[in-house]
Structure 1
Amino acid sequence: MQVHELSQNNSIANKFISQLRDVHVQKDRMRFRRNIERLGEIMSYELSQELNYQKQAIETPLGTSEIAQPDNEVVICSILRAGLPLHQGILNYFDDAENSFISAYRHHPDNDENFEVLVEYMASPSLEGKTLILADPMLATGKSFSNVLKAIAPMGKPAKIHLVSVIGSSEGIEFLKTEFPENSKLWIATIDNELDKNGYIVPGLGDAGDLCYGQKLQH
């Protein structure tokens, strides 16, 4: 799996990443969601350069112009609930894509730091031969992406898989390299090196779902 990290090169993306991490800016949920959406847009632009293109004749008021346009069948699959603003950012650029939604959450059966990732809901079109974009803002252990890959297997085999995330851990990325096809690509805003004992990214930014939509009752 190839990894493309936005923060390796200075760009406006750094501003959005810094605001996502900042405990003072995080209090503004609308800005938090919008910054995730913005990063989804930036990574979609970068990702778009990997698609297949065909020239099409476009009629203008004064003549005809040939413009290369993507001809991939794209499906965007986001992991609920934190994936929703990232999904919207990607959809802003791939506005004719099909859409898939899946739940994946950490279940602590013994009420301690040990957890398993459970998938309980999925709505998806066929993925056979299509370009699949999997979106989840936080890539910690990598178990959510891995379990989602297994859950969507009955939907068909994609021609290519792109993963899009905002913040990830080095450990989680190394795990995904063993789980996803070699030609898969990860587009990520920035990478942190540490996971704590609970499997959270350090320094990270906290719980993206709670920061987007408010705290939830644990179950």
Structure 2
Amino acid sequence: MRLSVIEHPLVAHKLTALRDATTDSPTFRRLADELVTLLAYEATREVRVEPHPVNTPVAPTTGVRLTSPKPIVVPILRAGLGMLDGMVRLLPTAEVGFLGMIRDETTLQATTYANRLPDDLSGRQVYVLDPMLATGGTLVAAVEYLLERGAVDVTAICLLAAPEGIEVVRSAFDEHAHVTVVTAAVDERLDENGYIVPGLGDAGDRLYGVV
């Protein structure tokens, strides 16, 4: 597993506003959308492309375009939906799948309750969207689910990560699995309830309210 922490003034600025407990849901959604686009720019540095000839108004030249099969973006429901627009803004031709996972608050184990993905992901680059890498259980389960279906390259984009979760993901995927985690920051620790400290609270609740 590879870890990429994006150190940039705009990333830090938007993350600070997301952490603020006084930031309301509409502002939180807008900031999360903007932050994801910045993270996605870095996360897609190794997206596969191929040469493509074009004719400019002046002369012919050769550029690049995304190869087939197209990348697939997979938000983890529900909080990952708040990251989707920012991601597809950068990758508008990507396909979108959905994976519903829920964490048992007692055992902290993740289980799958919904799946809207192709059965065969052979050769696909997959971008997983999950705001918080806390215990790591949800992300490990999601990545295993994708790799079992043939995905060869999985990049997880997270707003925040905890050291404990990073180590869980790292131990689950050795150098034989091409797994990358891209995040805006690695925070101090997890608390006794499995929440990131200092964190930003429950991302799903702050995006969509308590339901």
TM-score by length of 2: 0.91
After TM superposition, which residue ranges in structure 1, 4 or more long, deviate above 3 angstroms? 150-154
Give the deviation of 1:85 after TM superposition.
2.0
How far apart in 1 are the matches of 2:187 and 2:102? 21
> Counterpart in 2 of 1:52?
48
Alignment of 1:61-210 (within 5 A): 61-71=57-67, 73-108=70-105, 113-125=106-118, 126-153=120-147, 156-182=149-175, 183-210=178-205
Greater CA drift, 60-69 or 48-57: 60-69
**Structure 1: gaps (5+ residues):** none
SS in 2 for 1:13: helix
Give the deviation of 1:114 after TM superposition.
3.8
What amino acid does structure 2 have at the position aligned with 1:12?
L
Q: Is 1:165–1:187's contact at 8 Å kept on the other side of the alignment?
A: yes
Q: Is 1:55–1:66's contact at 8 Å kept on the other side of the alignment?
A: yes
Q: Is 2:108–2:135's contact at 8 Å kept on the other side of the alignment?
A: no
How far apart in 2 are the matches of 1:47 and 1:196? 28
How far apart in 2 are the matches of 1:116 and 1:52? 33
Greater CA drift, 98-107 or 75-84: 98-107
Q: How many aligned residue pairs are there?
A: 207
Are the structure 2 counterparts of residues 53 and 32 from structure 1 closer, same or farther at C-alpha, using a change threshold of 3 Å? same
Alignment of 1:13-52 (within 5 A): 13-25=11-23, 27=24, 29-52=25-48
Give the deviation of 1:78 after TM superposition.
0.8
**Structure 2: gaps (5+ residues):** none
| CA RMSD of superposed structures (Å) | 1.7
Q: Is 2:48–2:66's contact at 8 Å kept on the other side of the alignment?
A: yes
Q: Is 1:114–1:198's contact at 8 Å kept on the other side of the alignment?
A: no
What amino acid does structure 2 have at the position aligned with 1:119?
T
TM-score by length of 1: 0.88
Q: Is 1:52–1:70's contact at 8 Å kept on the other side of the alignment?
A: yes
How far apart in 2 are the matches of 1:10 and 1:45? 12
Q: Is 2:135–2:194's contact at 8 Å kept on the other side of the alignment?
A: yes
What amino acid does structure 1 have at the position aligned with 2:115?
M
Q: Deviations over 1:110-164 (max 9, x none)?
A: xxx443322100101231111011110111000111122333455x211211111
Greater CA drift, 191-200 or 33-42: 33-42
Q: What fraction of aligned residue pairs are identical, expressed as a percent?
A: 29
